[in-house]
Structure 1
């Protein structure tokens, strides 16, 4: 058994200063230690996949060799499969995973771990994530971290340490309370326009481009037609087009914005993606900084898969954002909402928390909309060069 400080301080020496995750009793000492060290950063995510995306955002934006660790119970690997296979693997965004081994063969545990326990190693291997047991002796920590960092630097992909029961000694917790101020009430601007009178995605994205100068702004576009149409309009070096990992643009942008307070980070979301991971609204409301702007383009459909309807017409996303702690939240069907969203200085020190707008747009996509010819790895590398992260 080791002390929490043994591992966390050894990891700090190798640049690991960012943590995100969902608690497990095996992880309690680490979480408690990190929470009480003001020089370390911890984001408590709504689910494990969001935590992976947060640390992916840190890897995308961080300077000075900063690295991140995602912590989860192995039962949460199911929630993390999508971002681990279509975000971190695809874009080569490395992170260290600490996965607890509940239901380890031969160790008595709760019935819900009876299947995940035995298949945990195979699940990691299927996702091409090399793993080894978490070090249980102090002298084993440095070699384990060295192997992890070597793999991460060589491949740009995650490495896992699988933690067995009793690996880390208890560490007490004094205080975990959030002290974020209340958000303003949501504002609405509905004209009741018919479908053919709504703004198009193209018009909305043109407004976004006008408000996001490459020198000071980064734009992260959700998977599907959102990123493809942004690429078709203007393929700029400050833009990243997500593929797969549906719903992860919010936590990805959160990690990026936290790691880079010098940049204005804009997440362009879709209604289907936002509905998939609505817990991320709460995480952004609690942790989101003032340099983060979240724009939801809502056409009430899964446009890139044939136009199947979503339930978004029944949802007030601005009310959800406001209730979750966003600094401001507006929604409506007037294109001017985009201008209002960007009307104030995103680095205004008097404003706490991120800004949100939901713009209802009409369905449909231009014929012949191209797919990006730049690969995910290339667009990631270009963005990192552009912002000085490499």
Structure 2
């Protein structure tokens, strides 16, 4: 169905969410119509953040907000849905719009397979009324679902549209760009050159895909890298868990701005523990680029100040390759926790591939490499 018609039938005047490729039509529509307007649309750090923000909107207005997300974000909403929104607690009505990655029978990446299998069940277990929107779903069917949902909302409960691949159409074209010059894949190539055979933990999405292809282009083994293909926001915590148990080995974490924002508390834990053998690199393009390029708030905040405030003894920001190489070398030669923010452009080559090894193979090869160190 046309995304504009869906928005019309929903009738909400406030949306908040975390962008998703399956919901790109909706995300582009909201950016085109509202931009990042606090009264109507906020892209939040994670899905729990969105849910709480939307709850505050309801408390202030009495209206029903809409929260959009990829189905991987359902885990982040379980606590606020169960202990804040639920009708046995505050009875806060809310509409969720969930992109269905890994739908059974539809080919997808391994990190989405199980999540796809339990998407609807998780919503139902949280007592969230669901309706699935497919390519052939009619406007009248969605209108009837919304009418049913209004009865749910009147009881202080929640409902969700689960959106199948390709179900939403006619999105406006939105160009996402910034003024940064450095290309992420080239940044990763410089990191690989500097790290040698040191282990790297890389974040969700295109950075891990580009790291994999860099190793392939160099004729190198993939055993040096743990690709955090799912679990957005947790790569630095994985790196910390490795580093604590390999204290004599330098561990590099290649992170992204959207991932850092999603679980920024991990930086506080990293800084408080101050492992001497971690270099935490955040490639910041101010965008959720892997799912379409929609903006994050990272372009407006000082990540270096955040890192220093969390206790990182070394924190710098670079926007050119000469400075990047210098800071990589400095981090490599010091025995202290280091943080490097790299300002990056938005965009990747059209023919960027995906890892050709399985997630299990990646884990086994990485663990074998760690045992050899």
**In the alignment, which of 269, 285, 288 is matched to residue 283 of structure 1?**
269
**Cα-to-partner distance string for 1:149-207 (whole Å, 9 max, x where unaligned):** xxxxxxxxxxxxxxxxxxxxxxxxxxxxxxxxxxxxxxxxxxxxx94661100110111
Q: Which residue of 2 aligns with 1:330?
A: 316
Q: Which residue of 2 aligns with 1:69?
A: none
Q: 1:197 to 1:340 in 2, by over 3 A?
A: same
What is the aligned-residue RMSD (CA, Å)? Answer: 3.4
Which structure has more helix as a fraction of its residues? 2
- How many residues align structurally? 209
Q: 1:311 to 1:84 in 2, by over 3 A?
A: closer
Q: 1:283 to 1:246 in 2, by over 3 A?
A: same
* Residue ranges of structure 1 left out of the alignment (5+ in a row): 1-48, 50-80, 86-102, 104-110, 113-125, 128-193
Alignment of 1:90-105 (within 5 A): none
Q: Which residue of 2 aligns with 1:35?
A: none
Q: Which residue of 2 aligns with 1:234?
A: 215
Distance in 2 (alpha carbons) for counterparts of 1:320 and 1:306: 26
Q: Which residue of 2 aligns with 1:245?
A: 231
Whether the 8 Å contact between 1:251 and 1:284 is mirrored in structure 2 is yes
Q: Which residue of 1 aligns with 2:365?
A: 382
Q: Cα offset for 1:292?
A: 0.2
Distance in 1 (alpha carbons) for counterparts of 2:181 and 2:340: 16
Q: Which residue of 2 aligns with 1:207?
A: 190
Distance in 1 (alpha carbons) for counterparts of 2:204 and 2:342: 17
Pairing 1:301–2:287 present: yes
* Residue ranges of structure 2 left out of the alignment (5+ in a row): 1-47, 49-70, 76-82, 90-117, 120-176, 217-221
Alignment of 1:1-390 (within 5 A): 195=178, 198-214=181-197, 217-235=198-216, 236-344=222-330, 346=332, 348-349=334-335, 351=336, 354-388=337-371
Distance in 1 (alpha carbons) for counterparts of 2:178 and 2:272: 35
Whether the 8 Å contact between 2:319 and 2:344 is mirrored in structure 1 is yes
Whether the 8 Å contact between 1:341 and 1:355 is mirrored in structure 2 is no
Q: Cα offset for 1:363?
A: 0.5
Q: 1:347 to 1:82 in 2, by over 3 A?
A: farther
Q: What SS is found at the alignment partner of 1:202? A: helix
Q: What SS is found at the alignment partner of 1:342? A: helix
Distance in 1 (alpha carbons) for counterparts of 2:247 and 2:73: 24
Distance in 1 (alpha carbons) for counterparts of 2:357 and 2:345: 28
Distance in 1 (alpha carbons) for counterparts of 2:73 and 2:368: 23
Q: Which residue of 2 aligns with 1:78?
A: none
Distance in 2 (alpha carbons) for counterparts of 1:325 and 1:197: 28
**Cα-to-partner distance string for 1:304-342 (whole Å, 9 max, x where unaligned):** 111111111111000000111101000132223432332
Whether the 8 Å contact between 2:180 and 2:319 is mirrored in structure 1 is no
Q: Cα offset for 1:386?
A: 1.6
Structure 1 stretches (4+) deviating beyond 3 angstroms? Answer: 81-85, 194-197, 345-349
Distance in 1 (alpha carbons) for counterparts of 2:358 and 2:282: 25
Distance in 2 (alpha carbons) for counterparts of 1:83 and 1:239: 25
Q: 1:212 to 1:261 in 2, by over 3 A?
A: same
**Cα-to-partner distance string for 1:127-148 (whole Å, 9 max, x where unaligned):** 9xxxxxxxxxxxxxxxxxxxxx
